[in-house]
Structure 1
């Protein structure tokens, strides 16, 4: 949705979970010499100012990355997640937060292919400028769902797809499921990362089950589902994001244990009420 700007939410609890998973997946992909492709269907601007008016308006980073920034007892996977965030802040102060394309730019090798898509015209221009000097990179202002068809399978047959639309339109939920199904038909052993908000909406509640069915039907290596719940329902109408989840199709075999190590810590650090909790489940095909 063209009205959506991720700058309002940069560095919040959902970004922590999403980018923790993304970091571990990209690190795993880099363990083999053969290059891989990352396709980011809803890339955003690439980076965001924590000190800017958008991030300051809601201050969501205060309950997210800020709570980890100076922590001394971080589990190793969370330390690894923070490495590109720290690299994005060379003076040692948390002033900027890297979006998924920036994290990818910091972790991917020169011969790895990066394909990013962003519809918002302002964010697209910022992203295009930021990635202009990176080799093997294409920045597109086309719809990421539609563009995915031409990206799969990647030339090296090694690839990751990240989908994290705004979900401001309920139709995004159906588009995600359809894109996953079609993507698996084209690239059954690709790694698909799907982020979703935990909301008091039927579409949100049903998404993981729909993705499980798609993965069970088309994926070669099963799936992993992680959800971090940090907040309570804000009012009687059920508005507000309670947490978020990541659904990973064909996950690295290392990912479950890495998340298991981090999730209790994240509940303690990011939880905003006594009932904060996590869910971690996995199925291998």
Structure 2
């Protein structure tokens, strides 16, 4: 499978992931000290929802296409304002562009994208942004090369793999161990798809068995996860979440559940054994 996110940009899973990402980054802005974000699977950065790929699946219509009328008091408002700033509703911003719009001069974003064509397009978006760096390299390999950050003691590692090859959850667990060894003060956010419960449950149990402390799990299910051939939901594991994030995430997911006609929205804690 040759994965390209243009087919899925702006779908319910993107909405869930990016709303929570903006909330996580907002906590860094509460202090003046610099922070670093490492985005291991960056993609294009911005997606034209009128392109051939997006028009073919039209997944965005059941995602960002349902969220244009939210008011300023909505828990989704900070993220939706950034979507608009990035060119929405026609253009949908991925995590690199959303993050870049929240950076201050002292902060830094490092993007990894191993597909040469996607990397070139991503690089072209940030040629005039001095604190955004784009690497053509495997995101997992980059963890050892780029951590710990040289310019900040605070930071977030965002891992958002395409799940196009078997064994992705095992690679994610190994990545967690690498990050915690090289950047113990860093926050980690890991996105994953939910098709059926078995592999997700095994991943959560592996985190628990590894005694990873302070793990929060946020999930949004569009439908019951009984068909392994469909994307039925999405989750975000956050390791070392900031104070107050659980309440923010719950409010955002419940709002998305209502607007996207979802089946279930949950925020839970994984307790280390």
State the TM-score bracket (shorter-chain normalisation).
over 0.9
What SS does structure 2 have at the residue aligned with 1:69? coil
Distance 1:198 1:71 in 2: 27
Q: Do structure 1's residue 85 and structure 2's residue 77 form an aligned pair? A: no
Gaps of 5+ in 2: none
Show the counterpart of 1:248.
238
What SS does structure 1 have at the residue aligned with 2:76? helix
Partner residue of 2:223 out of 214, 231, 244: 231
Show the counterpart of 2:204.
208
What SS does structure 2 have at the residue aligned with 1:37? strand
Show the counterpart of 1:12.
11
Q: Do structure 1's residue 48 and structure 2's residue 47 form an aligned pair? A: yes
Partner residue of 2:113 out of 104, 115, 118: 118
1:78 shift after superposition: 0.4
Show the counterpart of 2:250.
260
Distance 2:238 2:215 in 1: 6
The answer on whether the counterparts of 1:75 and 1:261 sit within 8 Å (CA) in structure 2 is no
Distance 1:193 1:233 in 2: 22
Deviations for 1:246-282, whole angstroms, at most 9, x for unmatched residues?
Answer: 000000112111122222221121135xxx0122112
Distance 1:260 1:232 in 2: 19
The answer on whether the counterparts of 1:110 and 1:134 sit within 8 Å (CA) in structure 2 is no
Task: Quickly say closer, same or farther: Cα 1:284–1:37, change in 2 above 3 A.
Answer: farther
TM-score, normalised relative to structure 2: 0.93
What SS does structure 2 have at the residue aligned with 1:278? strand
How many residue pairs match? The answer is 271
Distance 2:113 2:179 in 1: 19
Partner residue of 2:122 out of 113, 124, 127: 127
What SS does structure 1 have at the residue aligned with 2:250? helix
Distance 2:182 2:117 in 1: 32
Show the counterpart of 1:164.
160
Q: Which runs of 4+ in 1 moved over 6 A?
A: none
Distance 1:171 1:159 in 2: 27
The answer on whether the counterparts of 1:39 and 1:115 sit within 8 Å (CA) in structure 2 is yes
What SS does structure 2 have at the residue aligned with 1:185? helix
Show the counterpart of 1:145.
140
Gaps of 5+ in 1: none
What SS does structure 2 have at the residue aligned with 1:175? helix
Distance 1:198 1:241 in 2: 6
Task: Quickly say closer, same or farther: Cα 1:211–1:20, change in 2 above 3 A.
Answer: farther
Show the counterpart of 1:177.
173
